[in-house]
Structure 1
Amino acid sequence: MSHVGVGPRAVMRSAAFLTAGVLAVPALAGCTSEDPAGKPLAEQDVAAADRARIADGGTLRWAVDSVPDTLNAFQSDADATTTRVAQAVLPSMYRMDETGSPVRNPDYLESAEVVDTEPKQVVVYKLNQQAVWSDGREIGAADFAAQWRALSGKDSAYWTARNAGYDRIQKIERGANDLEVKVTFSRPYADWKALFSPLYPKDVMGTPDAFNDGARRSLEVTAGPFAVKKVDTKSDQVVLTGNPRWWGEPAKLDKIVLRAVPRDERVSELVAGELDLAEIDPETADEVTLAGAPRDPATGTPLMGPEGSPAPGPQGRSAAEALRSWAVANGSDEDAAEEEILAREERREAAAKERRRQKALSGFEVRKSLEAAYTQLALNGSDGPLADERVRRAVARALDREKLAEAVLKPLGLPAEPVGSHLALSGQPAYADGSGALGQQNAKEARALLADAGWESGGPVKKADEGEKAAGAEKDEKGDKDEKKSDGDDGTYIVGEDNKNGGSGDGGNDDAKDDAKDGADRESGEKLSSGKNTAQGGAPGAYAPKGTAAPAGSVTAPLAKDGKALTLRFVLPSGPGSEALRTVADRITDMLKEIGIGTEITKVPDESYFKDHIAAGEYDLALYSWPASAFPATDARPIYAKPVPAADGSLNVAQNYTRVGTDQVDQLFDRAMTTLDQKEARDLLRKADSRIWAAAGSIPLYQRPQLTVARENLANAGAFGFETPVYEDMGYLKKGAQGSRPSAPAGTSASSSPSSSSGS
């Protein structure tokens, strides 16, 4: 299970299972002469090969998570497979490069530039003169205009999921000739390169009926190296075939079959020879790596196991065990001998089956990189203890993000660096580490923040009535256990409520005042003080003032306030592929326990995790992922915008599922969205990110690992990293040809501990 959205520039930046502070920002790295963006932490791993080395023809059978409900990427139920199809069959004016930046796609676009800014911003697109739809019609202004009208938000008959950017267009006209499209904006729009990628034909965008229903199960008119042959819900697959009217480099493959295969069934499908390419979990990666390891010529067993560990002996038994088995089978005890002979036969059959399995997997290899997405810890600031900014900041400062990143990435041989930005990833132009606005991990200061918020270590806790027990959790009445699972099946258990009084605690927090200087001014002009918490997310005393007593007692003593223990609801998915999330959650739980915060962990089905818990706000803590975007001013704004009351009295949170935001961050996003100066836009985004860090509504942890298994002779496909796949270049190497792969650092391996997951 991936718990990440459909990817950059799809319907909207989506977290599927893919804040602004009131403190001022310290000096930004972006203002120095050294570029803080850095480089991508990992390169893509696709077995790159020149087209001349790739044979013509063949079918690529590619495992995906689902057959999409719609092929219209601008509808709310579009998913990652919708994006895969759109990339292969539709025009995109811009695509992502190896740094996650937009680059012009020459197959469709000869040039695009801002030709005027006063009185209006005007962009002129010059299209590739060979670019045509599959029905022979030229791609032109009529298609651009139809997409603008459908996505502008002016006609509610169109069931669109987003209109960002399109709502800023004033008009679209034919330029100097049929190959020019002139777009005039009513308001300046910095992210204009985000528009018209993908571009649908006017046949799809021209009327509400065509938009809403016409492109859900078929795309009759396309303009990519591939076309949609059929969407088969019975066999759970989408079949793409070559587009005969494609004017670019011809597709090497005859066919791409995108087939929905559950992640826990993919290794069996690989063994059966039914797949050529699939994202996998670390356990499958281990098995594929082991299958390709050198073997003992006599026994056929691998000489070395994963991570260089000694391989098991014949049939998984040591030499001493094998000798004992022979002795029993040939001994005088006939009953024991008969039983052992049967057991030996069963082991031989199992070993033969395992050899066949390993032989089938030996034709595959693991390709790995870091995905263009990051996993975060979300803190719901709408109500409960986390409505107090001081408690959110205490939680954030209790986390050792480096250790959390290492727990997931180090066993995979991938760079284990924590993510420093909410808005970009290392290597992207907008990236800068803004975590300094929050402060480094510091348990002492975290406890001081909690003390300032009124949470006392070892304080009295009222005994809850039976009806008040949360989600069926059976808590220990004596409070002498750190962790107790419920007797029910809801997966809920309590961690950290032991109600023990300890010895003396840390003293006053002398460093908190220095951190307050780094945190800076509050949004409404409030100064840091030791006053009471008066408003959600905007209370004075976000840092405990100098002299505030730290919690008394040992570091693991639970905290309480008004007779209620400080226990946070931690919701996690329970499905296959979520092992890494659960491992990270366990480590976060331990870190929070060190400062006296208990957690109530509830594991829920994958299908209800996001809709019923994250989006509904039924959680305190949760782990999910966001995809990186080449256009953070547009795509990240709804994630961090301040929730506003809707007409019916409810709270409109857009995509801000932590419910934490401020006017100041909204203003920074709006300014970044309207400036055409790229450096100024980057600086504004970095300031916004620092304020998001300061509010501690969400804590970026690590860039998601991407593990893919591919046939050894499959080229230009695998772990794509930031880059948009080039579908026409995918194919199988000619006999004797070799692909080129980036060399892995010494000592790295695709193996993993059982608790890590490529889908975290």
Structure 2
Amino acid sequence: MPTTSGGSSSTDWSNPAAEAASADGSVSPPAFRHQTGCFARVAVRRSAQASLGDLSHACYRRLSVVDRSDKCVVRCAPRYVSVTGTDRSSLQTNQEEPPVMKSRWLRVLALLLGLSMIAAACGDDDDTASEGEGEETEETTEGTEGEGEGEAAAGGTVVFANEQEPDGWNINTASSNLLALGQLTEIVFPAAFRTTPDFEVVMDENLLVSAEQTSEEPQTIEYVIQEDAVWSDGTPITADDFIFMYEMMNGSNGEIDVASTAGYDRVESVEGSEDGKTVTVTFAEPFSEWQSMFTNILPAHIIPELGDGDAVTGWNDGLDGANAPEFSGGPFMFEDYRPEQSVTMVPNPEWWGEAPNLDEIVIRFDVDNAGLPAALENGEIDMAYPQPQLDLVDQIDGLSDVDSQVSFGLSFEHIDFNLQNSHLAKPEVRMAIAHALDEEDVVARTVGQFSEEASVLQNRIWLSNQPQYEAHGDEYIGANVEEAQGLLEEAGYDCSSSPCTHPEDGELTLRITTTGGNQLRENTQLVIQNQLAEVGIGITIDNVEGGAAFERFFPESNAIADQDYDIALFAWVGTPFPSSNKALYTNEDPTLVGSNNTGYQNPAIVDIFDEALVETDPDAAADLYNQADTILWEDMPTVPLYQKPTFLAYRNTIQNVEDNASTAGPLWNAYEWSVEG
């Protein structure tokens, strides 16, 4: 589930730079992945069966069918529908449909796959339905305006306010692995698989003809690249690029800065054939999450040139600072980067897929969150994706020509305990805090004011809108002062006065630290402070402005001894691959932080994650991950609070906008955007 942007069970998160700050105070995984190019869903309701002809009436445009194991995916531009069954002549539809409201407040609930944890540290907040053709179809539009059957308008500019400016452009490195950057490169760098707004991982058909496992022993994956897939200089995208990514990311060369080695470190070989358009990856060890690999692919013929012929230098330093990439393998490419101001994204002239409608997207880095309502109102910007704050949302909701969407995605808020603290090293104290907290009250006073869908989260591996989710924290719902004080007394505390005291460790007073200036988090702190006072636990609020708070949790030295916090409050941002959670709760060297800022260690957790990583049965793997979460509730190194909402505001003249609350972000389908007038 989380990211500083994430890691997987085999990820090396020993480099604290992997926890790079993202603008909303959340932390995300080192790999950003997955999306599709469709923005609406066609649901066939009145009949359990639907022919391709029926579906084509609902799509209006070109229709294609792609087999994926036991599911066929029917796509059309710009809509798609996912249906089950492999009989192309008669496809049984998926009857489930997420709740959608045609209003300025769209609540898009994420479904399907699991999230994985990654850390991308973040700064402060300054950090419908209409009748289709044919009786058997109903068209549901999510987050779109002015949609019709005609072709989208060509041309125009969209100005997008980005909360954070990248300090480097190679998203595959730990030093530049920022959520904000990944949401830009989503439409620039090629990827084998992408994540849809409902968290389904799908093959990117623009890049690949197919991607399938051809052997179990040894595990072998074959990718077939589209013949017309080329880089922006006209050079074909081939197996050379896949081989290059493997060489840079397998972890065998300690000189290479890499955010995650997950999967690559299990590969025995990567080979090309068929003029480089077929790639065969053979694993030395099984890797169930192979679809997470080969994202943000970089060109093998260009990166070494950025290092004067040295591939490692080009990889590490060639895209640093102001060196925005001048190449692309996606629908857009970067142009005219102006540090501390903006970067422009223009259509890639060599793009072989559906051509973007817009002339350009200008990404602004110089509009702070406080100025967003005025900037939207006066036309200075057209779109923004800030972390929601109550006053900000209210102001934007009052603008007559601006629409907005609230979604729940891959990010969740939590508190972490520093187990080096003499009080928090005691399991009874950690469990007492969990019993003293009234998480429902926390939700009601914070994210519950944005959406009635907000709820208490009771799992660290799966989120509540995923089918694998199991609620394991029922006994901690609601404040239980008596139980909390009983646990403190068992641990030797005298709670006859407040704060409680311990004969050896003194007063039970703890600091809670978060990204200062973030109103939601500061409100959460006050609620927690008042609730814990009821059981005799003193809480001091000790914030650091913006992303600097993460230096307290993940010090530059990466040494546990250099941490400076008792309780941390922030968010993890995840991907659909849960194995990356392992990095949050384990560390081979207990003196180092990595992504495991609590210092928690339990060999049973390591064993479960390792077993799940090679488990090819998704249901069995989900059960294993739920077992891991059960153990985490017993040991309580962290307390999950709630899923965080995303907030997307945009001028209502922009068509085909839909948030993708995974790490892909709102630009995932920017090639479909168009501007009225």
* TM-score tier (shorter): 0.7 to 0.9
| Partner AA of 2:661 in structure 1 | G
Shift in Å, 1:680: 1.5
SS of the residue 2:223 aligns to:
strand
Rounded to whole Å, the distance in 2 between the matches of 1:675 and 1:205 is 35
Identity of aligned residues (%): 27
Shift of the alpha carbon at 1:670? 0.8
2:378 aligned to which of 259, 266, 272: 272
1:450 and 2:555 equivalent? no
Selected match of 1:378 from 416, 424, 427:
416
Partner of 2:442: 404
Q: State which of 150, 154, 160 in structure 2 corresponds to 1:56.
A: 154
Query: Alignment partner for residue 95 of structure 1, among 170, 194, 199?
Result: 194
Three-state SS of the structure 2 residue aligned to 1:112 is strand
Q: Is the 8 A contact 2:241 2:300 kept in 1?
A: yes
Aligned pairs for 1:313-712 (under 5 A) are 362-436=400-474, 441-458=479-496, 499=497, 557-562=498-503, 564-575=506-517, 578-613=518-553, 615=555, 616-633=562-579, 635-642=580-587, 644-645=589-590, 651-712=591-652
5 Å-filtered alignment, 1:723-738, equals 724=664, 725-734=667-676
Which residue number corresponds to residue 485 of structure 1? Answer: none
Deviation at 1:157, TM superposition (A): 2.6
1:402 touches 1:416 (CA, 8 Å); kept in 2?
no
**Structure 2 CA distance for partners of 1:205 and 1:170, relative to 1, 3 Å:** farther
Question: CA distance change for structure 1 residues 154 and 7 in 2, over 3 Å: closer, same or farther?
Answer: closer
Q: Is the Cα contact below 8 Å between 1:716 and 1:729 reproduced in 2?
A: no
In the other structure, the counterpart of 2:295 is: 197
Deviation of the 1:684 alpha carbon = 0.9
CA contact (8 A) 1:56 1:731 kept: no
SS in 2 for 1:686: helix
Instruction: Tell me the amino acid that sits aligned with residue 211 of structure 1.
Output: W
Does structure 1 residue 287 correspond to structure 2 residue 395? yes
Inter-partner Cα distance in structure 1 for 2:446 and 2:199: 23
The structure 2 residue matched to 1:42, chosen from 95, 105, 108, is: 108
User: Structure 1 residue 723: deviation in Å?
Assistant: 7.8
Please tell me whether the aligned partners of residues 390 and 449 of structure 1 are also in contact (alpha carbons under 8 angstroms): yes
Once the two structures are superposed, what CA deviation does each residue of 1:64-121 show, in whole Å capped at 9, x if it has no partner? 1222111100122322232122101111111112332311111112221111121x21
TM-score (norm 1): 0.67
Structure-2 separation of matches of 1:394 and 1:57: 59
How far is 1:4 from its partner? Answer: 7.4
Gaps of 5+ in 2: 12-16, 27-95, 100-106, 111-141, 305-310, 556-561
Check the 8 A contact 2:554/2:594 in 1, yes or no: no
CA distance 1:440–1:267, change in 2 (3 Å): closer
1:296-346 CA deviation, whole Å, 9 max, x = no partner? Answer: xxxxxxxxxxxxxxxxxxxxxxxxxxxxxxxxxxxxxxxxxxxxxxxxxxx
Cα drift, residue 642 of structure 1:
4.3
> Alpha-carbon deviations, 1:3-42, whole Å to 9, x = none?
9744899996767533xxxxxxxxxxxxxxxxxx997983
**8 Å contact 1:668–1:685 — kept in the other structure?**
yes
- Call closer, same or farther: CA 1:38–1:223 in 2, change over 3 Å: same
SS of the aligned residue for 2:446 comes to helix
8 Å Cα contact 2:554/2:593 also seen in 1: no
For residues 621-641 of structure 1, the C-alpha deviation after alignment (integer angstroms, 9 at most, x for no partner) is: 1210001221111x2111111
Matched, 1:107 2:206: yes
Q: Distance in 1 between matches of 2:287 and 2:221?
A: 10
In structure 2, the CA distance between the partners of 1:273 and 1:198, relative to structure 1 (3 Å rule), is: same
- In structure 1, the partner of 2:48 is none
Deviations 1:554-575 (A, max 9, x none): xxx4311117221111123322
**1:249-268 correspondence to structure 2 within 5 Å:** 249-260=354-365, 261-268=367-374
**Structure 1: runs of 5+ lacking an equivalent:** 19-36, 292-361, 459-498, 500-556, 646-650, 736-760
Distance 1:693 1:437, change over 3 A: farther
Shift, 1:440, TM fit? 6.7
Q: Could you list the per-position Cα deviations for residues 361-398 of structure 1 after superposition, in whole angstroms to 9, with x for gaps in the alignment? A: x3222322224201101111122200011111111121
Whether the aligned pair in 1 keeps the contact of 2:656 and 2:674 (CA below 8 Å) is no
Tell me the equivalent position of 1:218: 324
1:129 and 2:75 aligned: no
Distance 1:587 1:289, change over 3 A: same
Match 1:85 to one of 184, 202, 208? 184
Q: State the Cα distance separating 1:418 from its structure 2 match.
A: 1.1
Superposed displacement of residue 433, structure 1: 2.1
Contact 2:183 2:668 in 1 (8 A): no
**How far apart are 1:455 and its partner, in Å?**
0.7
**CA distance change for structure 1 residues 658 and 51 in 2, over 3 Å: closer, same or farther?**
farther
* CA contact 2:6–2:581 (8 Å) conserved in 1: no
**Distance change in 2, residues 1:641/1:229 (3 Å):** same
What residue in structure 2 maps to residue 467 of structure 1?
none
- Rate the CA distance shift 1:213–1:620 in 2: closer, same or farther, 3 A: same
Residue identity in the other structure for 2:530 = D
Q: 1:77 to 1:717 in 2, by over 3 A?
A: farther
CA–CA separation in structure 2 for the residues paired with 1:593 and 1:52: 61
Change (3 A) 1:731 1:704: same
Query: Which AA in structure 1 matches 2:185?
Result: A
> Equivalents in 1 of 2:326, 2:160: separation in Å?
22
What RMSD in Å do the two structures reach over aligned CA positions?
2.7
- Total equivalences in the alignment: 538
Distance verdict in 2 for CA 1:664–1:282, change over 3 Å = same
2:337–2:343 contact (8 Å) kept in structure 1: yes
Partner of 2:655: 715
For the residues of structure 2 that align with 1:655 and 1:414, how far apart are their CA atoms? 32
Q: Given residue 638 of structure 1, which amino acid in structure 2 is its aligned partner?
A: A
1:399 CA drift (Å) = 1.4
Which of the residues 265, 270, 274 maps onto 1:167? 265
Q: Secondary structure at the match of 1:653?
A: coil
Output the CA distance in 1 between the equivalents of 2:300 and 2:422: 49
Secondary structure, aligned partner of 2:175: coil
| Distance apart, 1:659 and its partner CA | 1.2
| 1:614 to partner: Cα distance | 5.2
Partner of 1:487: none
Structure 2 vs 1, CA of residues 394 and 14 (structure 1 numbering), >3 Å: closer, same or farther? farther
Are 2:212 and 2:223, in contact at CA under 8 Å, matched by a contact in 1?
yes
The answer on whether the counterparts of 1:8 and 1:629 sit within 8 Å (CA) in structure 2 is no
